[in-house]
């Protein structure tokens, strides 16, 4: 465990967060997860933080950060701290917090838990023996112990390329935690993902390091998010431990999927909140549908998020993903894009 670590905000109250990424417009699936996260905090009088997770530059869409805030407000959600309202734990935009991630990386490096890696993504892809992890590439530790210091790793690369930093995952340890929705979960991180990337370069922190540093610094006590991130949580727990930070509780909730069981995509119909709003659908109709998917409303009810406070019950939330059925699409007036002539099906 590293020296000098601390948790950002002391005190026993629940602090939850909404953490949109401006990589595209928010759709019904994001909205359902954010509604659950909002209700969880608001139903117990806690504090809600909104943090914009905009580190993924190539995928960020111009204007999407502001639009995400507008879309969430349109739904009727609010937050107590965030980029537009301020707060004691700001800034609330990840690209404005880079020096904090660099400091966390330095703590890990000083403890011998981060090492420089010169492997390119292509090298790592080429080394995969099988489609390995649930959510990414397996790294066999090629550069672990290979370079004495960052300078030596830099010299091993052509000019202009910088080494990445990877986390030294303990061999053979099964990291376990009790998910507030899914129950007991364990993963042998060294076998599943191996030594994962912390930063693309000393200033280029990635999602894993940033989310841990931020949730700790912002005093987040409870993370409610989609269960696509369940397999990433053991990696994050290793970082909490290595940095001497107290982890939050985690609740991973099922996503909204297409009828074929896939993640929502444009080909399933335009379920972006913005598109629904522009086509004249009222927010109360959308929230009512989200609540119906969660088991808290009858079909066809129109509701504001605050109407759900007395009904909020995670015990009623189905274990299976919510499905974007033709009935749901018709209710919201969502049309599928036309199939190319002659195509039997497009997945
Ligand atoms: N920003 C991430 C996303 O939009 C969520 C990260 C998290 O909840 O930990 O997928």
For the stretch 142-171, pLDDT in tens is: 999 999 899 999 999 999 899 999 999 999
Catalytic annotation on 266?
yes
Among residues 209, 233, 253, the one where a domain terminates is 253
Q: Please indicate, yes or no, whether residues 59 and 171 belong to a single structural domain of this protein.
A: no
> In this structure, is residue 81 part of a structural domain?
yes
Residue 224 sits in the same domain as residue 125: yes
In a shared domain, residues 50 and 130 = no
Asked if 204 and 236 sit in the same domain, the reply is: yes
**What tens digit of pLDDT does each residue of 268-290 get?**
889 999 999 999 999 999 999 99
264 and 226 inside one domain: no
3-state secondary structure of 116: strand
Pocket test for ligand 1, best of 16, 17, 18, 20 (most atoms within 8 A of CB): 20
The answer to whether residue 7 sits within a structural domain is no
Mean pLDDT across the chain, nearest whole number? 92
CB 195 within 8 A of CB 167: yes
Instruction: Read off the pLDDT band of 266 (50, 70, 90).
Output: confident
Task: Give the burial class of 188: count Cβ atoms within 10 A of its Cβ; 0-12 exposed, 13-18 middle, 19 or more buried.
Answer: middle
Asked if residue 211 belongs to a domain, the reply is yes
Let me know whether 61 and 149 are in one domain: no
Residue numbers of the domain that contains 39? 14-85+255-332
Best mutation site among 53, 71, 135 for ligand 1 pocket (most ligand atoms within 8 Å of CB): 53
Residue 304 Cα to ligand 1 middle (Å): 24
Ligand 1 atom at minimal distance to the Cα of residue 232? 9
User: What pTM value is reported for the model?
Assistant: 0.92
Please check whether residue 303 lies inside any domain of the structure. Answer: yes
Residue 345 lies in a domain: no
* One domain, residues 228 and 265: no
Nearest CA to ligand 1 atom 6: 19
Q: Note the pLDDT of residue 343.
A: 54
CA of 38 from ligand 1 middle (Å) equals: 15
Number of domains in the chain: 2
Give a yes or no: residue 200 inside a domain: yes
Q: Is the pLDDT of residue 241 over 70?
A: yes
CATH number at residue 135: 3.40.50.620
Would residue 226 count as lying in a domain?
A: yes
End-to-end CA distance of the chain: 47
- Residue that finishes a domain, picked among 253, 278, 305: 253
Residue 37 is assigned to a structural domain of this protein: yes
Closest C-alpha to ligand 1, atom 8? 225
pLDDT at 93 over 90: yes
**29 CB contacts (<8 Å, ≥6 apart)?**
226, 255, 256, 257, 263, 264, 271, 322
For 326, residues 6+ apart whose C-beta sits below 8 A from its C-beta are 259
Q: Please give the average per-residue pLDDT across 177-188, as a whole number.
A: 98
Q: Are residues 146 and 164 in the same domain?
A: yes
The pLDDT assigned to 59 comes to: 87
3-state helix, strand, coil in the chain (%, to 5): 35, 15, 45
- Worst-scoring range by mean pLDDT, 96-105, 195-204, 308-317, 329-338? 329-338
Is 105 in the same domain as 193? yes
- Of 232, 253, 274, the domain-final residue: 253
- Check whether residue 48 and residue 28 sit in a common domain: yes
What residues flank ligand 1, with Cβ below 6 Å? 19-21, 53, 211, 225, 229
Mean pLDDT to the nearest integer, 113-118: 97
Do 122 and 262 reside in the same domain of the chain?
A: no
Do residues 258 and 265 make contact, with C-beta atoms less than 8 angstroms apart?
Answer: yes
Same domain (yes/no): 25, 49? yes
């Amino acid at each position: 465990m590293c020296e000098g670590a601390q948790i950002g905000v002391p005190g026993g109250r629940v602090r939850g967060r909404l953490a949109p990424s401006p990589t595209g417009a928010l759709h019904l699936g994001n909205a359902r997860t954010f509604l659950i996260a909002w209700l969880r905090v608001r139903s117990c009088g806690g504090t809600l933080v909104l943090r914009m997770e905009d580190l993924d530059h190539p995928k960020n869409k111009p204007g999407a950060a502001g639009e995400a805030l507008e879309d969430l407000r349109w739904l009727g959600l609010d937050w107590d701290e965030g980029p537009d309202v301020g707060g004691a734990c700001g800034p609330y935009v990840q690209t404005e917090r880079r020096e904090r991630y660099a400091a966390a990386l330095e703590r890990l490096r000083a403890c011998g838990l981060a090492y420089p890696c010169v492997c390119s993504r292509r090298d790592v892809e080429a080394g995969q023996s099988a489609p390995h992890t649930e959510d990414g590439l397996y790294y066999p530790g090629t550069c672990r112990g290979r370079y004495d210091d960052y300078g030596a790793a830099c010299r091993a690369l052509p000019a202009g390329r910088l080494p990445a930093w990877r986390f030294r995952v303990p061999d053979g340890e099964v990291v376990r935690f009790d998910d507030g929705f899914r129950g007991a979960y364990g993963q042998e991180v060294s076998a599943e993902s191996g030594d994962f990337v912390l930063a693309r370069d000393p200033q280029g922190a990635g999602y894993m390091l940033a989310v841990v540093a931020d949730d700790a610094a912002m005093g987040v006590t409870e993370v409610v998010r989609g269960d696509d991130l369940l397999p990433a949580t053991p990696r994050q727990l290793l970082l909490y431990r290595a940095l001497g930070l107290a982890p939050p509780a985690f609740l991973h909730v099922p996503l909204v999927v297409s009828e074929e069981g896939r993640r929502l995509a444009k080909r399933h119909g335009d379920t972006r909140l913005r598109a629904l709003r522009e086509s004249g659908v009222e927010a109360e109709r959308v929230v009512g549908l989200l609540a119906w998917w969660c088991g808290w409303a009858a079909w066809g009810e129109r509701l504001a998020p605050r109407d759900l406070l007395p009904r909020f019950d995670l015990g009623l939330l189905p274990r299976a993903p919510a499905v974007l059925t033709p009935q749901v699409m018709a209710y919201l007036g969502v049309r599928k894009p036309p199939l190319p002539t002659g195509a039997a099906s497009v997945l």
